[in-house]
Amino acid sequence: MARPRRIVLVRHGESEGNADDSVYERVPDHALPLTETGSRQAGETGARLRELFGDEGVSVYVSPYRRTHETFRFFGLDPTRVRIREEPRLREQDWGNWQDRDDVRLQRALRDAYGHFFYRFAQGESGADVYDRVGAFLESLHRSFEDPDHPENVLLITHGLTMRLFCMRWFHWSVAEFESLSNPGNAETRTLVLGANGRYTLDQPFRRWRAPESYGFTG
């Protein structure tokens, strides 16, 4: 089994939806492009990734959204050292169809109060649904490590909530731990680094916005 030295998760650069939430009334979520700021963010992250990967190979998985594809293009990775595939299971949490700005703001407030893992958007998904499909993707990812020629690096270009849920699934975090953490900023990375003991650790933690709630569970 050829496990990669690094598994790098990247949130897409700033999209038009991040800059103006009224755009969801006119453009489908999956079709939102990057802003100029988002393009610059992606280019800056790409420069750091090129330095990190050097001459090593990279297996790339990209969410099927326009903003993640555009983010990858701005990375400027050497195409001779990259194998890339679109991975629908790494998509954003689905809100469902067209969105009304006032309703979006209301549902976000309700989700904040109810909990990001369990709250289900009226026509879309809960965080738990995203967790399940991330888990299915991880099974496929682990099978890919059986290839003795697997590249030294894996790069996932995805979304903030999906990044947190990927790490929750990988590191077996509790729901309470997940709920205490914030999404990374646009074009920010988190890297799982393979240690000498054969285990992966995060290069930097997610920002914590509150202490995890405790229900007295002791295992």
Catalytic residues: 12, 92
Q: Pick from 91, 85, 84, 99: which is nearest to 30 by CA? A: 91
Q: Is the separation of the CB atoms in 119 and 111 below 8 Å?
A: yes
- The DSSP code for 208 is B
CA-wise closest residue to 8 among 54, 73, 64, 52:
52
Instruction: Give the separation between CA 199 and CA 119, rounded to whole angstroms.
Output: 32
Contacts of 171 (CB under 8 A, 6+ apart): 202
